[in-house]
Amino acid sequence: MNYLEIKANQKLSGEVRVSGAKNAALPLLASTILSSSTVQIGNLPNVVDINTLLKLLEMLGAKFEKKTHHIEINTNTINETKATYDIVKTMRASILVLGPLLARFGHCEVSLPGGCAIGQRPVDLHLKALEQMGANIEIKNGYILATAPNGLQGTTIVFDKITVTGSENIIMAAALAHGETTIINAAKEPEVVQLCEVLQDAGLDISGIGTNTIKITGTGQKLLNFKAFNVIPDRIEAGTYLCAAAATNSKITITHVEPNHLDAVLAKFKEMGYGIDKTNDTITLLPTNDIKPVNITTTEYPGFPTDMQAQFMAVATQANGTSIIDEKLFENRFMHVSELIRMGANITLNGTVATITGTPNTLTGTDVMATDLRASSALIIAALVSNSTTTVHRIYHLDRGYENIENKFKDLGASLLRKSE
């Protein structure tokens, strides 16, 4: 098993290019099930989660040719509609094939995703919405058995709470449905917006893109004609490198990014005293003479993203004062706290609220263990400001969503060595 060895007391400088967004690419790949012909996708991130979904699509019968960041995929060869447990258990986002498979073929079997390290993310909202669209849903032997022999029917769906993958699944299902579907309380994340825009460019009648009410006139099971497109930049990867710069109080520039997708994150950097310079596709973080504490509450877009909570906690350990982070979205997303405490961080937990007493320059390098994707990056950030070498174990979490992370940090002047144990 691989681990990372990270040298202490590191300053960063230079530029780093942001990869395509994993969380945008996954639903976009699933949406190719709705296509009448080969789809070309550029700026595809080369990370484990993408390869996992491609393996699933291949098992269903899809054919593709993939270069490092580009793919041509044809789903007209799909001859299987069962997404098996062996694949789904490794990545919850596999549930995204449920909507398009059901819409196109009128039946499918998709393994239940099960639990998740950062908390429960049930698919009941997906299933309830599909039932409202006329699907028959049965749970049997750990699988979702879904049928709609006469196709899905447009209807009005009100999500009880905002769900990103739920919104994406139902948007794709509604694309081939009969009649109009209205989704109320839809997610507004940039990744959802791009899915809608790609489907619109493919000929789908869709309105309300970027709002919480989306209206879709389905094609009545007629497939769409996808145009070539590029995956949007990964706002979480961009935010992670900015946090590394903030913790080390360094100046770096992030390139090939969409700054508007990071408004809530950049606002918190400014509250902490950092300078921010932006162009259309770059962000530069400028050091501060006084790293101020910050209060953060995670929420749905356009609010502060839960996927940036762990990284900001690492930054908060270097602030002069007490920061408070309230995690509103996932009940078990503080597992990185115990590892940061092992490094000397002063953090207390009370339910969903973490209180971080900033103790600049007092973290100590040690052996720590990654517990999920974003926790992994938080431990790297903490290691950069520790006073001795840190080893981060179980970095397979990291490889799910960060492309070429050692070399990107090397380009910024840091030393991250991947080793085997």
Catalytic residues: 116
- 240: number of CA atoms within 13 Å, CB side? 28
Q: How many CA atoms lie within 13 A of 239 on its CB side?
A: 28
Q: What separation in angstroms does the CA of 144 have from each of 76, 111, 218, 241?
A: 23, 6, 23, 39
Helices (H), 116-189: 124-132, 164-175
Instruction: Give the Å distances, CA to CA, from 234 to 114, 189, 237, 265.
Output: 26, 12, 5, 13
d(CA 297, CA 281): 27
Strands of the sheet containing 367-369, edge to edge, are 367-369, 390-393, 2-6, 416-420
Q: How far apart are CA 18 and CA 335, in angstroms?
A: 26
Which among 405, 408, 412, 411 has a CA at the least distance from the CA of 4?
405
H/E element holding 319? none
Q: In whole angstroms, give the CA distance from residue 210 to residue 41.
A: 22
- Tracing tokens 């959802």 back to the chain, one arrives at 192
Q: What is the DSSP string of 215-275?
A: EEE--SSPPB-PPPEEPPB-HHHHHHHHHHHHHTT-EEEEES--GGGGHHHHHHHHHTT-E
Q: Which residues are CB-neighbours of 93 under 8 A, at least 6 positions away?
A: 26, 27, 49, 53, 165
218-221: long-range contacts (C-beta < 8 A, 24 or more apart)? Answer: 218/152, 218/154, 218/174, 218/175, 218/176, 218/177, 218/178, 218/179, 218/180, 218/181, 219/175, 219/176, 220/151, 220/176, 220/177, 220/178, 221/103, 221/104, 221/151, 221/176, 221/178
